[in-house]
């Protein structure tokens, strides 16, 4: 297990390095942010001063080496735009995104699994057919459109929920989140549902497919023959066995939720990392973009690792095989 984790971490370090190289040079090819940052009335001397202040007068290779040197000591550089350390800026925006992604994930599990299970157990029931039709909509409607429609319906027409932003936060168990206040939850509801919609559909489909397949397996038949109650057959024997694909997919999807909730965050003006990324990209704020993507690679590696460990808990066979190597 330890060897496995170390190997994973080494792989991750290599990926992070390669990615920083590609992004660093990629953003540089597009252009530099000077023309967007500088006051248009500035004269040539001031433009040159600003280019120098941001270190953009140096050859790109030298800039990259300087950046690597900084990273080695935990310094990812300063945002061209905000003048603050890129890492600090990202960490400032991170809680809002983590909170949004977690709530969306919980929604996907709490809504997706029961509905999927129902659809798998009673495939011919009209309600089950309705669920499946609904999940197709969840897949195919574009997020930004659904988001705008939700705003129009719930915020503008009905006036039930606020249209934008993050609400009041409160500290609970040492965690500061808007999920602990009424105002915060009302702000959270729409963007989280918007973000969760696709995942809910995904979970419904996976759970249904798993349930239908497992229903005909010998162990289910045996459990039934043993005279176990239906609730136990489904809740323990069936559910545990169909969870593996669901956990894998949700794990990877959680990474996606964290890293690329860009559309939802932009529409709902959610002050998270996704909005920071898209704005940094548009303004060519290279230090933030590079640091952000490096962090995301690390997050993905950690999530994959966590998924692997969860596997071994859910499926004893995985653990056995690893002990053999």
Partner 1 sequence: MFKIKRTLGILVATALLGGPAMAEELTIGLASEPTALDPHFHNLGPNNAMSRHIFDRLILQDERQQLVPGLATEWYPIDDLTWEFKLRQGVTYHDGSPFNADDIVCSFERAPNVPNSPSSFGTYTKGKTVVKIDDFTIHIKTAKPYPLMANDVSTIPIVSSDSGCDATTEAFNDGSAAIGTGPFKFVSYSPGDSIVMERNDNYWGGASIWSKVTFKPLKSGPTRLAALLAGDVDIIEGVPTTDITMLTKNAEVSLSQGVSNRVIYLHLDHDRDDSPFVKANGGGAIDNPLRKLEVRQAISMAINRDAIVDQVMEGVAIKAGQLLPEGFFGVSDSLAPVDYDPEGAKALLAQAGVGDGFELTIHGPNDRYINDSKIAEAIGQMLTRIGIKTQVETMPRSIYFKRASRGGPDDTPEFSFILVGWGAGSGEASSPLKSLIHTYNRDAGFGASNRGRYSVAAVDAVIEEALATVDDEERAALLAKATEMAINDVAIIPLHYQVNTWAAKKGLKYIARTDEYTLAIGVIKE
Binding residues for partner 1, rule: CB under 8 A, are 30-47, 49-50, 53-54, 78, 80-84, 89, 92-93, 96, 148, 151-152, 155-156, 159, 162-166, 266-269, 271-272, 275-276, 279, 282-284
Of 187 and 199, CB closest to partner 1: 187
Q: Report the nearest approach of partner 1 to the CB of residue 316 (Å).
A: 46
Of 37 and 228, CB closest to partner 1: 37
> What does the DSSP assignment read for 103-144?
HHHHHHHHHHHHHHHHHHHSTTSHHHHHHHHHHHHHHHS-HH
The partner residues of 142 in beta bridges, in order of sequence, read none
Q: Report the nearest approach of partner 1 to the CB of residue 283 (Å).
A: 7
Helix axes 182-215, 126-140, angle to 10 degrees: 120
Q: Report the nearest approach of partner 1 to the CB of residue 42 (Å).
A: 5
Q: Report the nearest approach of partner 1 to the CB of residue 48 (Å).
A: 9
Q: Report the nearest approach of partner 1 to the CB of residue 287 (Å).
A: 11
Of 77 and 210, CB closest to partner 1: 77
Q: Nearest 5°: phi and psi at 172? A: -140, 125
DSSP 57: T
For the chain, what is the largest distance between any 2 Cα atoms, rounded to a whole number of angstroms?
A: 86
Q: 64: number of CA atoms within 13 Å, CB side?
A: 15
Task: Tell me the C-alpha distance between 283 and 37, whole Å.
Answer: 8
Q: Report the nearest approach of partner 1 to the CB of residue 154 (Å).
A: 9
Task: Tell me the C-alpha distance between 102 and 234, whole Å.
Answer: 26
Task: Tell me the C-alpha distance between 302 and 52, whole Å.
Answer: 38
Number of separate helices (H) and strands (E) present in the chain:
15, 2
Of 195 and 220, CB closest to partner 1: 195
Of 3 and 158, CB closest to partner 1: 158
Of 103 and 117, CB closest to partner 1: 103
Of 46 and 213, CB closest to partner 1: 46
The distance from CA 69 to its chain's CA centroid, rounded to whole angstroms, is: 29
Q: Report the nearest approach of partner 1 to the CB of residue 265 (Å).
A: 9
Task: Tell me the C-alpha distance between 146 and 191, whole Å.
Answer: 10
């Amino acid at each position: 297990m330890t060897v496995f984790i170390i190997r994973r971490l080494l792989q991750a370090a290599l990926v992070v390095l390669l990615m920083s190289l590609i992004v660093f040079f990629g953003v540089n090819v597009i252009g530099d942010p000077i023309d967007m940052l500088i006051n248009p009335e500035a004269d040539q001397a001031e433009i040159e001063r600003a280019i120098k202040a941001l270190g953009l007068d140096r050859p790109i290779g030298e800039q990259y080496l300087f950046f690597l040197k900084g990273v080695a000591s935990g310094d990812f550089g300063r945002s061209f735009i905000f003048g603050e350390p890129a890492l600090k800026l990202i960490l400032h925006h991170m809680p809002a995104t983590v909170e949004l992604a977690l709530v969306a994930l919980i929604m996907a599990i709490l809504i997706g699994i029961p509905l999927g299970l129902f659809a798998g157990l009673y495939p011919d029931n009209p309600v089950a057919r309705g669920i499946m039709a609904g999940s197709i909509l969840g897949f195919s409607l574009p997020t930004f459109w659904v988001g705008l429609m939700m705003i129009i319906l719930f915020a503008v027409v009905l006036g039930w929920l606020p249209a934008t932003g993050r609400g009041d936060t409160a500290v609970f168990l040492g965690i500061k989140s808007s999920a602990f206040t009424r105002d915060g939850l009302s702000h959270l509801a729409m963007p989280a549902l918007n973000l969760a919609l696709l995942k809910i559909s995904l979970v419904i489909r996976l759970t249904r497919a798993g349930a239908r397949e497992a229903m005909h397996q010998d162990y289910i038949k045996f459990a039934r023959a043993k005279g176990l109650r239906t609730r136990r057959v489904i809740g323990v024997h069936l559910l545990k066995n169909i969870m593996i694909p669901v956990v894998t997919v949700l794990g990877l999807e959680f990474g996606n939720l964290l890293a690329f909730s860009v559309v939802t965050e932009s529409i709902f003006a959610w002050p998270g990392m996704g909005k920071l990324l898209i704005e940094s990209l548009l303004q060519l704020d290279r230090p933030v973009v590079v640091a952000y993507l490096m962090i995301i690679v690390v997050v993905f590696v950690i999530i994959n690792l966590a998924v692997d460990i969860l596997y071994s808990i859910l499926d004893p066979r995985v653990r056995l095989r690893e002990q053999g190597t």
